[in-house]
Chain A
Amino acid sequence: MSRAPTPLDRRIALGLGVIAFFVLWATERPVGFVRDESVYFAAAEQFARWWSLLFHRPSAALSDAVITQAFDFNHEHPMLMKSLFGWSHAIFHQTLGWVRPAAGFRLPAFAVAALIPALIHAWGSVLWGRRAGLFAALSFFVVPRHFFHSHLACFDMPVATMWLLVVYLFWRAEEDLRLAPWTGLAFGLALATKHNAFFLPVVLTPFGVLAAWRIAGEEGRRVLVRMGEVAVGFLAYVALLLAVLGRDGLVQSWQLLSPQTFGLVALVVGLALLALRLRARDPAAFVKLAPLVAMGLLGPVVFYVHWPWLWYHPVDRLAWYFDFHATHVHYAWTYFNVVLRAPPFPLLYVFVVTALTLPISLLLPMAAGLVRSVLLCLGDIVPALGRRFGRGGATEWLLAVNALWSILLISHPSVPHFGGVKHWLPSMPFLALLAGREFDRAAAGLASVLQLAPRRAIAVSLALGAVVLLPALTLTVHVHPYGTSAYGELAGGIPGAASLGLQRQYWSNNVTGVLPWIDANARSGARVWLHEVNGLSFRDYQRNDMLRKDVMPVGGPEDADLAAIQYHQEFREQEVLVWQAFGTTIPSMGLYLDETPQVVVYRRPGR
């Protein structure tokens, strides 16, 4: 079976991507600027200015000092998406004037997010047919929180896209050698998107090595063993250096000519030479290993080259980058009436929140699909299960592992648990794919029982798909643009989640629900405290005409005429301080989603 989609399915995938892009664009205006997004806007503008300098005065732009000045801001994250945001803003807003500033930044985010339904269909249609691919693609896109995150000029949805792209290309390249370099390039882009991508080799290496081992002849296996020895030798060498130099010493003493560089070069050269030998002596085995080789060679190069901040100080700054994410601060997060502030976090948190935030009609096929996939994989190991449920094979394992990887990773009790579902988004396209198979089985079963002719079977499939997707679609429409507040039917919707004591919202974007009232009611030059909205977001609301330009931001209730409080369990004190400062406990208005307070506005009496 060819792993390439049919021409028609390619066109359908393209159509899905195009439609998704325009739907996101058409619905972006009311989406507020989440706290991080305005930081990325500012970073993107700054980087765009550097690119402009690079074109006009390259020698100045390429100096260490100028690069440090230009890229030091928000160096917690790599550059790919921020560069795209900046270029898009410069072209579509500043130069052409076609879109408002925020849309200028966000257009690349729409494009990247729109790749997900396209890729899901391209993959699902090959695995289980067009019906499965279409349903899977739509079932990802119509989940309220996925739809919301697809709008943001952030990195959570882009890295989900990149993860899916890399795994898909890896799967394709295992059959078609021409796609191996593309896998490597995609991996580099994934690294350049967000740090999650550093786990991709951990996930994919066993698949590539095992596939190569299975198909390899005696000589090929000898080369593979030698490659393993080189890798193990490198790890032992690193362990030795760590033992001798310590972690800080390893980083600080790393120069161009140093034991560290020698070890790395020896690893890369050794593996590359062995890969060439494998290609010469066992081409079939090499095909299976080629995507990993490409990832190993191209990924780090793309990552390094794309990020000027690394150019002059690669070791120190990479060490800082990894250290920052390995020791990320824990933000408070409410879970069943308990404000989680520090590890250990509940082991089932990710599974529970996923179940409570997905629309129930999509939770069922996703969960069923995952259970089936796990059973099929176990069937490969346990013969009795294999006889009862069937056997999976490499592709089934690939889907199951990727569906679970991010979920299990974030489930670790010491990993930060804030951020709703966004931190395990890379799992969700795979769950959608598995849901597509379940839907296909269900639709096929129905058509078989009803003994329908092919045309009627299609009509019944479409009707069934519409019925199953409709609750998710209506939920998404209902909650838009307040996607961080969305909860599915299992939670009892937004009010049910409030009674269960779940996090009501995050990232401050829901403030858009009260901005029109502030515009209409604030006196000229009013001092406004938008709680949890950072100064950059305040500026962005004003420059995107979502907030009057004469009102002034202040940092707390003491100085404010108006205060808009974000309802978070951990911030109750902030609202009470407004009562104290304003001398009233009565709000003037608020954003109440399905009765739940989200943003509550107070006006100082007499102002």
Chain B
Amino acid sequence: MLAPSAQDGKASGAGVNETAHRLRTAAPALALMLVALYGLGFQLQLPRAFPSDADYRGVAEALAAAKAPGDVVLLHPWWTERARLFFPADLPVVGYLGSTADDLVAHPRIWVLANERLPRTPDADFRRNFLPDRTPVGESRQFGPLTLTAYRNGRARPVLLSAIDAFDRLEVSVEGPGGSPQPCQRSGSRILCPSDASVDVAWHEVLYQPVRCLFVLPPSGGRTLAIRVPDAPAVDALLLEAGITWEHAWLPGRAEVQLRLDSPAGSLHDRIPGAHEGFVRGESPASGPGPWTLRIQTPNPQDRKVCVRLRGLGAAR
């Protein structure tokens, strides 16, 4: 009984060895074919991730019908900016590297326009940075590969006053060292100051984030620029954000920028370290009505162009 079995076993073993040998021999070709087929499949599938113009128009129509003051559209992934071509001008569209972490303080409702069919969509980043304190409102709507979802923004707070909105009544001067303040003059849309300083409201980039801000060229000679908002209302918090614009931020060997915000709530000191990219943020406690004065000073004014957002916030909703 054993012999045939043994024979069968040998035959079977030889067959297994033969099959394994054949598989090993054919493996490189099979691997090449599989990878090539994966490549072809990827390329054939990819166009399904691309929205048509009609998809975007559908989104634009839906937004036009549902938008409310304070709404904003957030793109996910952040770079899908073709959407900008289609959306109404009065609806801000936010999409920049790092925008999932933007608190979007001024926007109580965020429309997230997501395309999760795109390869390598950074969903983990979205979950980690965007979703906390955000609650979906209503059902998501699908437009081709695009998903439009409204979120209540738990990080939003009423903006009671923004320095850029108060630009027309700002009082700006250059102080010290040792001398009396020298007032600045308005010239067109800019405020021009002694010691090559100036202030205006403009769009600039701070670590890839487009921001409309107070664009400040600090004074030379170790002097301090003082920007005063004379009649600010009572606020629950004063939010100060300041950053060096564009590529000047990373320049090595530059001195820091000193910031001091005086308000009825007291003084808030902050600084933008040399080579720091992005905003530095500081928040003061509740403040009664009265002037806010922001002082900015740096030894390297020529390449420390500062983008400042100063906002008085109400209570969180």
Q: Which residues of A contact B (CB under 8 A)?
A: 332, 337, 339, 341-342, 359-361, 364-365, 368, 438-439, 441-443, 445-446, 448-449, 464, 467-468, 470-472, 474-475, 478, 488-489, 491-493, 495-496, 498-501, 569-570, 572-573, 575-577, 579-580, 584-590, 592, 594-597, 600
Contact = CB atoms under 8 A, between A and B. Distances in A.
Contacts of B27: 445
Contacts of B177: none
Contacts of B250: 339, 341
Contacts, number: 151
A533 to B, nearest CB: 20
A570 B245 CA distance: 12
Given A498-B77, A585-B93, A586-B84, A449 B22 contact: yes
B54 interface: no
B80 A595 contact: yes
12 contacts: A360-B39, A364-B32, A445-B28, A445-B29, A467-B33, A468-B36, A495-B46, A499-B118, A573-B245, A576-B203, A579-B203, A595-B49
Given A445-B27, A573-B204, A493 B119 contact: yes
Closest 4 CB pairs of A and B: A492-B119, A471-B39, A573-B246, A442-B28
A584 B89 contact: yes
B46 A569 contact: no
A572 B210 contact: yes
B89 A586 contact: yes
A576 B97 contact: no
B51 to A, nearest CB: 8
Interface string B163-199: 0000000000000000000000000000000000000
Nearest to A435: B32
Nearest to B211: A576
B96 A597 contact: no
Given A364-B31, A442-B32, A445-B27, A572 B121 contact: no
A496 B120 contact: yes
Contact of A474 (B33, B40, B79, B204): B40
Most central of A365, A438, A472, A496 by chain B CB within 10 Å = A496
Given A360-B35, A471-B39, A579-B203, A446 B26 contact: yes
Interface residues of B, number: 51
B227 to A, nearest CB: 20
B85 interface: yes
A449 B32 contact: no
B81 interface: yes
Given A342-B252, A468-B33, 8 more contacts: A361-B32, A443-B29, A475-B43, A492-B119, A495-B120, A499-B121, A576-B204, A585-B89
Contact of B79 (A365, A475, A498): A498
B315 interface: no
Nearest to B204: A576
Nearest to A361: B36
Interface string B70-98: 00000001011110110101001100110
Contacts of B33: 464, 467-468
A498 B49 CA distance: 14
B77 A572 contact: no
Contacts of B80: 595
Nearest to B145: A595
A471 B77 contact: no
Contacts of A579: 203, 210
Contacts of B37: 467
A597 B35 contact: no
Contacts of B79: 498-499, 596-597
Contacts of A570: 247
A442 B28 CA distance: 5
A597 B81 contact: yes
Contacts of A592: 82
Contacts of A576: 203-205, 210
B122 interface: yes
B33 to A, nearest CB: 6
Contacts of B105: none
B35 A590 contact: no
B82 A359 contact: no
B114 to A, nearest CB: 12
A569 B121 CA distance: 18
B40 A470 contact: yes
Contact of A470 (B36, B49, B205, B210): B36
Contacts of A441: 28
Nearest to B245: A573
Interface in B6-56: 22, 25-29, 31-33, 35-40, 42-43, 46, 49-51
B202 interface: yes
Given A442-B29, A446-B26, A474 B82 contact: no
A133 B26 CA distance: 21
A509 B272 CA distance: 37
Given A445-B29, A498-B77, A590 B82 contact: yes
A575 B205 CA distance: 9
Contacts of B43: 471, 474-475, 478, 489, 493
Contacts of B77: 498-499
A495 B89 CA distance: 26
A21 B5 CA distance: 66
Nearest to A570: B247
B208 to A, nearest CB: 5
Nearest to A461: B29
Contacts of A587: 84-85
Contact of A364 (B35, B40, B96, B246): B35
Contacts of A492: 118-120
A361 B33 CA distance: 8
Contacts of A600: 81
Contacts of A368: 28
A262 to B, nearest CB: 45
Contacts of A491: 120
Nearest to B82: A592
A595 B82 contact: yes
Given A361-B36, A498-B77, A570-B247, A464 B97 contact: no
A445 B33 CA distance: 13
B32 to A, nearest CB: 5
A172 to B, nearest CB: 29
Given A499-B79, A584-B89, A572 B96 contact: yes
A470 B41 CA distance: 11
Most central of B42, B85, B121 by chain A CB within 10 Å = B42
B32 A495 contact: no
A573 B120 contact: no
A449 B25 contact: yes
Contact of B85 (A445, A478, A498, A589): A589
B93 to A, nearest CB: 7
Interface string B90-126: 0011001100000000000000000100111110000
A475 B28 CA distance: 23
Nearest to A589: B85
Nearest to A332: B247
Contact of B32 (A464, A489, A577, A589): A464
Nearest to A492: B119
A360 B38 contact: yes
Contacts of A442: 28-29, 31-32
Given A365-B32, A467-B37, A590 B120 contact: no
Interface string B229-247: 0000000000000000111
Nearest to A450: B26
A489 B31 contact: no
Nearest to A360: B39
A303 B164 CA distance: 62
Contacts of A475: 39, 43
Nearest to A478: B43
A493 to B, nearest CB: 6
Contacts of A438: 28, 32
